[in-house]
């Protein structure tokens, strides 16, 4: 798949998720089959650029190109400045956030709140494209189907964004009002795909290889973006890629392979955050990885009491070593393959 000057190895993307898709996690997903990954949301507010939180989010050391950074804000001039700032620091693609449903973001009229004000939304797109185009940097846009069921305007906004120069559109199949509740619908994504010529990416509830194929068929999308289903299961990209290419399900990964991936990820995580913050923020990644495994709930409770990196790594390694004695391969994940694609 082509995105501006970049040829992506496949059409399976990691969704930007605040507090999740930092550099170590993006690299792990890329290693396990994702063709593209977008950074966590970075604020357009200048006073936040030099904070520790933003510096970690903007860390792309050793990351495979293209480097994609998502920015969020409410003011066109500030967003253009933020785009230029991130390009100066290595961003090769700029993604505009109009999809975040979080109250603290929408209360500031950013994220998906921008879909209620198409004039401001388009002004932001135009300003960011104007800042990036002379430097050969593609601009992409992530949005929802609309603010609410009564205000679905993704098609109109997609057409306007394409006219303003956006190179790719990602649509999450829910309104802002839904948050992450209920099921995603894909009719709106299909309508966006039919309305524009730029690539369209489908996002929302893609949690198995069969669901991935079904969403591609239902939407005609050029690519898929996967978020929550990759938490604790980053090899889902390999599973989906294999199924789309062959029509056959990939066997679950070897338990010892998962042990190696997770331990390596933990070391990368500590290197980015330091031991104190790293141990605490790593707990969610470990919890996601073990919650559906035999003994996972008890292990998670015990692991949350550990406060050193060495103890955390040793506990994870022991858990998977012991699991491998009875389960050389991970137990298959129960997928919602019987769910039909929901219509709007």
What are the catalytic residues? Answer: 100
Closest by alpha carbon to 137, among 128, 146, 126, 149? 128
Looking up tokens 């330091």 gives 274
Tell whether omega for the bond before 66 is within 30 degrees of 0, i.e. cis: yes
H/E run at residue 14: strand 12-14
Give CA–CA dist 272/282, Å, rounded: 11
Give CA–CA dist 51/296, Å, rounded: 36
Looking up tokens 């669901």 gives 211
Coil, helix or strand for 110? coil
Q: Alpha helices of the chain — where are they, by DSSP H?
A: 23-31, 52-57, 76-88, 103-106, 118-132, 154-164, 187-195, 209-219, 236-246, 255-273, 275-290, 296-303, 309-326
């Amino acid at each position: 798949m082509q995105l501006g000057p970049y040829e992506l190895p496949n059409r399976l993307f990691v969704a930007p998720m605040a507090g999740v898709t930092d550099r170590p996690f993006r690299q792990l997903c890329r290693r396990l089959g994702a063709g593209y990954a977008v950074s966590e949301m970075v604020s357009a507010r200048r006073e936040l650029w030099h904070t520790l939180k933003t510096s970690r989010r903007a860390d792309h050391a050793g990351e495979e190109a293209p480097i994609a950074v998502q920015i969020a804000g409410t003011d066109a001039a500030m967003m253009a400045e933020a785009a230029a700032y991130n390009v100066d620091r290595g961003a090769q693609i700029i993604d505009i956030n109009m999809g975040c449903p979080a109250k603290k973001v929408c209360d500031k009229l950013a994220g998906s709140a921008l879909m209620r004000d198409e004039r401001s939304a388009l002004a932001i797109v135009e300003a960011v494209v104007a800042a990036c185009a002379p430097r050969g940097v593609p601009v992409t846009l992530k949005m929802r189907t609309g603010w609410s069921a009564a205000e679905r305007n993704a098609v109109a906004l997609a057409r306007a964004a394409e006219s303003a120069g956006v190179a790719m559109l990602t649509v999450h199949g829910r309104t802002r009002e839904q948050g992450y509740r209920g099921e995603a619908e894909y009719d709106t994504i299909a309508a966006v795909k039919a309305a524009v010529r730029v690539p369209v990416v489908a996002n929302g509830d893609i949690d198995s290889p069969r669901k991935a194929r079904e969403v591609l068929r239902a939407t005609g999308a050029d690519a898929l973006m996967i978020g929550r289903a990759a938490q604790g299961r980053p090899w889902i990209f390999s599973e989906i890629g294999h199924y789309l290419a062959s029509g056959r399900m990939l066997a679950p990964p070897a338990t010892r392979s998962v042990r190696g991936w997770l331990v390596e990820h933990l070391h990368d995580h500590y290197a980015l955050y330091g031991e104190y913050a790293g141990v605490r923020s790593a707990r969610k990644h470990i919890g996601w990885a073990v919650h559906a495994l035999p003994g996972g709930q008890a292990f998670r409770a015990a692991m949350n009491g550990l406060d050193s990196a060495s103890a955390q790594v040793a506990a994870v390694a022991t858990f998977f070593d012991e699991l491998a004695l009875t389960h050389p391969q991970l137990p298959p994940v129960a997928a919602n393959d019987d769910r039909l694609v929901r219509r709007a």
